Amino acid sequence: MSNENRPAPLRDRLPSRIDLFEDNLKLDIRAHQRTYEGAYTRTAIGCFSFSILIIKLFSKEFLPIGTMYTVYGCILYFIGVYKSSHVDVFYNPEKDMEMYKTGGDYVLVLSIVSLCCYIALLVLILKM
């Protein structure tokens, strides 16, 4: 086969920002993605699915319970999105951040939101 029939070689891809990090830092980034883009989203989707099941399968008396699970899923999803948007600050060299801030505040907020939602669900169930 002659060289004139071959396609032009593709340009080498430019390294992404993640290629410039060391291996242990790449593992940390993947762990944060699994947590904030994965676990929070999966839990929110589970709450949405359960709320749809309650709203569609049961009678109208259960509508407030399904709505409560929908609200809980939305709050959970937006906490995950907010937290994942702030993780980039730690790994962006232009932002000049030395220390990583743990997610303790987010865990506390999520615990309070969960407790409030489950108390509201208990009240709704006891009113039936």
For 21, 27, 29, 30, the CA distances from 24, given in Å and listed in that order, are: 8, 5, 9, 10
CA distance linking residue 70 with residue 67, whole number of Å: 5
**pLDDT per residue over 17-68, tens digit each?**
555 666 777 777 777 777 767 788 888 899 899 999 988 888 888 899 899 9
Spell out the domain ranges in the chain. Answer: 15-58, 60-127
Identify the DSSP state of 62: G
Q: What's the pTM?
A: 0.67
**pLDDT per residue over 63-120, tens digit each?**
998 999 999 999 998 988 887 776 665 556 666 655 566 667 888 988 999 999 999 9
